[in-house]
Amino acid sequence: MKLNTNILESILESLDEYIVIIDKDLNIVMFTELFKDFFGEKNILIGQKIDNIIYNNNFKKVMASKDRKEQLLDETKEKNAIFIQSPIIENNIVLGAVGKIVFEEDIGKREDEIVNNSLENTAKYNFNNLIGKSDKFITCINLAKKVSKGDSNILITGESGTGKELVAHSIHNASKRKNKPFVKINCAAIPSELFESEMFGYEEGAFTGAKRKGKKGLFEIADGGTMLLDEIGDMDLNMQVKLLRVLQEKEVSRVGGGEVKKIDVRVIAATNKSLLKLIDEGKFREDLYYRLNVIHINLPSLKDRKEDIEPLCDMLIKNICEKYGVYCKGTSKEAMKCLEEYNWPGNVRQLENIIERAINLIDEDVLIKTKHLPEQIIEYKNVKTVFLEQGTLKDSVEKLEKTLIIQTLKDVRGNKNKAANILGLSRAGLYKKIERYSIKTN
């Protein structure tokens, strides 16, 4: 077999695994210490036939079919061992095969680890990721920090993009549950007919199509950790009843299975809807609301904490530049003014998008200027700061009219006929306004 033996040997030595390698004639080429130990008294030698060690192996079949195979090992003493055999193929030619012994209990453990460590089930952010210096924001975050130590359920509210998910992650990571799973569920996305089986799991053969071995529910997966019920306001009333029961009894049983399991899960619910309004409309259960709303964190909208816009921009510019490997110096004073004047219906998420867009548009001076901001933001500032903040609507309209006339006259170099045309006025009408607003012409 054409293999770089030295490299392979050192790789094998470093592995904490039960591995054997054979050539295409079923001769043993290499093995790990653990593999040798597994067979105890049997003396394993290089060049020996694998059949002498593992009588009923499947290597022949594996090499013929070029497919991996698993079998239970009879040689097993105390544990249930599975022998996984895979072909070694180069340029479509079978050179030999690898055999690996794994233990069933380790497989179970590993599955748990995967669930605990998989990206979806870990909280990515912590309080250091939260930017803001306004009193409103700081008060809110201090409350979140304080309650992260306890076990009470938490309700996080706030407009879309205010950072509800970020805060939920941070709470989990600041809690004693931080090394346990953080399971996020989008309540709006789980169809009600799947709710029970997803949340509580199901037993083997609970219904047609159920996996052979049954499946853990999300509550079981989150055991010991935190569950974020996102968009709780969109949860179906039937599901609300079932959720309430779990929160009250702190136990679940799988669909199709009698065994009741105690669970220890801290629930954080989040929504951008008014649950009180939903209760009034009969769309949300009041009893569930009180269960979830033990601690309430209401995240302020960005328009109510304008002093956070600048530090948020700095952080966003830094992150976006890092992500794309580009450079941006910052924001011009005028552009910052525009950003601070805007009302931000999409909050920090919208700010993020706008900064990313601007970074794509900057010129050689690598500075974000007003012209790199979307029209709606520039316009908002013009209308709001130039006019509305300077008096009554009548004053503002007059000021706007005067500005438009001056600007149009400038554009047409004082030609009153052209200006009247553009503005949709008669020549006499334009003259009247010029006089009224004391506009200097020529």
Ligand X SMILES: Nc1ncnc2c1ncn2[C@@H]1O[C@H](COP(=O)(O)OP(=O)(O)OP(=O)(O)O)[C@@H](O)[C@H]1O
Closest separation in Å from C-beta 166 to Mg ion: 8
Is 87 among the residues that bind ligand X (CB under 6 A)?
no
Pick from ligand X, Mg ion, none: which does 166 bind, CB < 5 to 8 A by kind?
ligand X
Where in 376-435 is the site for ligand X (CB under 6 A)?
none
Min CB(377)–ligand X separation in Å: 17
Q: Which two tokens stand for residue 274?
A: 């008014």
Pick the binder of ligand X from 21, 50, 101, 130 (CB under 6 A): 130
b/e for 56-77, b at 16 or more Cβ within 10 A? ebbbeebbeeeeebeeebebee
Stretch that binds ligand X, among 124-132, 279-287, 337-345, 413-421 (CB under 6 A): 124-132
Binding mask 237-276 for ligand X (x = CB under 6 A): -----------------------------------x----
How many whole angstroms separate alpha carbon 342 and alpha carbon 149? 36
Interface pick for ligand X out of 155, 166, 243, 368 (rule CB under 6 A): 166
- Residue 134 binds to ligand X (criterion: CB under 6 A): no
* Minimum distance, C-beta of residue 421 to ligand X, in the bound complex (Å): 47
CA 276/CA 273 separation, integer angstroms? 9
Binding mask 139-168 for Mg ion (x = CB under 5 A): --------------------------x---
Task: Name which of ligand X, Mg ion, none residue 254 binds, using a CB cut-off of 5 to 8 Å depending on partner kind.
Answer: none
Could you tell me if 409 and 419 are in contact, meaning their C-beta atoms sit under 8 angstroms apart? yes
The smaller minimum CB distance to Mg ion, of residues 76 and 353, is found at: 353
What whole-number distance in Å separates Cα of residue 119 and Cα of residue 31? 34
Burial 312-343 (b: 16+ CB within 10 A, else e): bbebbbeebbeeeeeebeebbeebbebbbbbe
Residue whose CB is less far from Mg ion, 159 or 165: 165
Nearer to Mg ion, 109 or 124 (CB): 124
Can you tell me which of 87, 96, 99, 132 binds ligand X, judged by CB under 6 A?
132
181 touches ligand X by CB under 6 A? no
Task: Output 32 or 347, the one with its CB closest to Mg ion.
Answer: 347
Q: Which is nearer to Mg ion, 23 or 165 (CB)?
A: 165
171 is an interface residue for ligand X by CB under 6 A: no
Q: Does 352 bind Mg ion (CB under 5 A)?
A: no
Q: Is 217 in the site for ligand X (CB under 6 A)?
A: no
CA distance 233 to 289: 10
The least distance separating ligand X from the CB of residue 270, rounded to whole angstroms, comes to 6
Select from 62-70, 163-171, 209-217, 433-441 the region that touches ligand X (CB under 6 A): 163-171
* 348 contributes a contact to ligand X by CB under 6 A: yes
Dist CA 317 CA 304 (whole Å): 22
What is the pairing mode between strands 330-331 and 367-368? parallel
Shortest Å, Cβ 166 to ligand X: 4
Backbone angles phi, psi at 347, to 5 degrees: 50, -145
In whole angstroms, give the CA distance from residue 292 to residue 288.
Answer: 6
Residue 225 partner contact from Mg ion, ligand X, none using kind-dependent CB cut-offs of 5 to 8 Å: none
If one asks whether residue 196 binds Mg ion (CB under 5 A), the answer comes out as no
Distance between CA atoms of 376 and 94, rounded to whole angstroms? 64
Which residue of 87, 163, 201, 300 would you call a contact of ligand X, by CB under 6 A? 163
| Size of interface with ligand X, in residues (CB under 6 A) | 16
160 lines the binding site for ligand X (CB under 6 A): yes
Which residues of this protein are in contact with ligand X, per CB under 6 A? 129-132, 158, 160-166, 272, 348-349, 352
The residues of the shown chain that bind Mg ion, judged by CB under 5 A, are 165
